[in-house]
Chains A and B, each alone.
Chain A
Amino acid sequence: MKFNFLSRFVFVLGLSVSLAACNMPPEDPEARAEYYEINDPFEPINRAIFELNRGLDTVLFKPLAKAYLFLPEDGRDIIHNMINNIKTPVTLGNDIFQLERERIGNTLGRFLINTTLGIGGMFDVATHLGLPYHEEDFGQTLAVWGSPSGPYLVLPIFGPSNPRDLAGSIVDTYMDPLGYLFSSDEDRMFSEYTLIRSAVQGIDERSRVMDVLDKLEENSIDFYATIRSLNRQRRAEEISNGTANKNVPGPSFMTENEDGTSNRASLTE
């Protein structure tokens, strides 16, 4: 029921946004290339939601994350490890969808070791045994399958995203076996389980980037644009499983044209 309402709401919102607040492609060819590279036609409304999120962060999420940091580190690590362990089935499913043979074994091994030796996922024994943590989600799977990301979107509360990742996160919710255990079919997206899990996960994540985000904001002259670029690059790195920038890809690598523009840069963002 709720989902129905939300989807209608998103549709109407999307329609009105695309009609009203849309940046049109500029005439100048270079400006046009930049426009497509930035891929943010809804920038005005994205910026508005970004500011809203910053406000929410100041009054709600940051104080909560700060309070969370009062917990002893061992306790926070246990919470963090348990969340990671709960996410493993979804990661495994996406490892399989992406045919990442090595990672399937890694995820399976981690789940078995941490659920047993790690006492229900409280301790990350697997990392010490040489199986580091990684995450895969359906947004990444779609990217690997060749789906384009679509335009940059800033979602209320959830922050930077795009249609591909948004669709991916809905699929992930339906891939989580615990969701079937703790919620009913019509209530999956907004079940108590999903909400509590997302809230704990969000606060845990926020507490881990406390310093980094403060610095980034302090050092930016356009925080929105910085976050947009870094987020997109981080996502590309996650999709390529960290190989995006490990190798120097041939002669055109970051070479500079006569006019000071770069060949490769437009490909990497």
Chain B
Amino acid sequence: MTRRVLLLLALLTLGFWQFAPAVLAADASTEAAVKFIQSYGNDAIKDLTEDGMTNLELQTRFAKYFDEGFDFAYISRFVLGRHWRRATPDERKEFQTLFKKMVVQTYSRLFRQYSGEVFKVTGATAGDDGGYMVASEVIMTNGEKPIDLNWQVEKDDGKYKIRNLFVQGASLIIANRSEFASVIQRGGGKVEALITALQKKTEQLASKDNQQAK
């Protein structure tokens, strides 16, 4: 009896408060950005999760996707922040090479563990400056909650480019920038310190990949 009353009470409560998730409106301008992200994600999953790929092959394919879809010139400048200006042209170049190497090494691995998760774009909003935020989620196969991914997209020369990715609300390029600033600061304010650290890390990751391949 009590249980029935409680259930009734619960259902009444539910009725009073709407709990339908807010659906982001997709108009004509955001539609193209939505399409871009959805097909980009689908293609990547299809291409990068093929069975029997070597690490090198996976990384080559991932690098291709990364170059096509991401605005690396912007991202690499952003993550170096105020140190970008202080860096010499050589340092900038070396930093970009190593940073990209690390991105490819670390993110291509995620596709190794792919087990049928579904990538779904859920909406998009347009900014005043011609940019878009495309919201998506990765629906897990192990019963855990979906992972929210938000993509910051800019249109450049008629082509969409991704500038930032938010995982569960956390901006990856801000996390990177914060980390790199800390390495530089602890290395006596020298960009060189970051380059050395990146060199070490990429070598370490590469040798780990080699070990796993054997």
Contacts and interface: CB of A to CB of B under 8 A. Distances in A.
Contacts of A268: 171, 174
A233 B133 contact: no
- Residue among A104, A226, A262 with max Cβ neighbours from chain B (10 Å): A262
Nearest to A261: B82
A221 B198 contact: yes
A101 B194 CA distance: 48
Given A225-B179, A262-B78, A234 B169 contact: yes
Number of contact residues on A: which range applies? 35 or more
A230 to B, nearest CB: 5
Contact of A251 (B74, B128, B186): B128
B14 interface: yes
Interface residues of B, number: 63
- Residue among A31, A208, A242, A248 with max Cβ neighbours from chain B (10 Å): A248
A69 to B, nearest CB: 13
Contact of A245 (B74, B150, B179): B150
- Residue among B74, B80, B208 with max Cβ neighbours from chain A (10 Å): B74
B19 A106 contact: yes
Contact of A259 (B85, B106, B125, B201): B85
B171 A102 contact: no
B80 A260 contact: yes
Interface string B183-201: 1011000000010011011
Nearest to B83: A260
Nearest to B17: A105
Q: List the 5 closest A-B pairs by CB distance, nearest first.
A: A105-B17, A248-B127, A237-B169, A225-B182, A229-B178
Given A109-B17, A229-B179, 12 more contacts: A31-B82, A34-B82, A112-B13, A215-B106, A220-B179, A225-B179, A225-B181, A245-B171, A248-B126, A248-B133, A262-B81, A268-B174
14 contacts: A113-B10, A129-B14, A131-B14, A131-B19, A222-B182, A225-B178, A229-B179, A234-B168, A236-B169, A246-B24, A247-B125, A253-B127, A256-B77, A265-B171
Interface of B: 3, 6-7, 9-10, 13-14, 16-19, 24, 74, 77-78, 80-82, 84-85, 102, 106, 109, 125-129, 131-133, 135, 144-145, 148, 150, 152, 163-164, 166, 168-171, 173-175, 177-183, 185-186, 194, 197-198, 200-201, 205, 208
Interface of A: 30-31, 34, 38, 101-102, 104-106, 108-109, 112-113, 115-117, 129-132, 208, 215, 218-222, 224-226, 228-230, 233-234, 236-237, 242, 244-256, 259-262, 265, 268-269
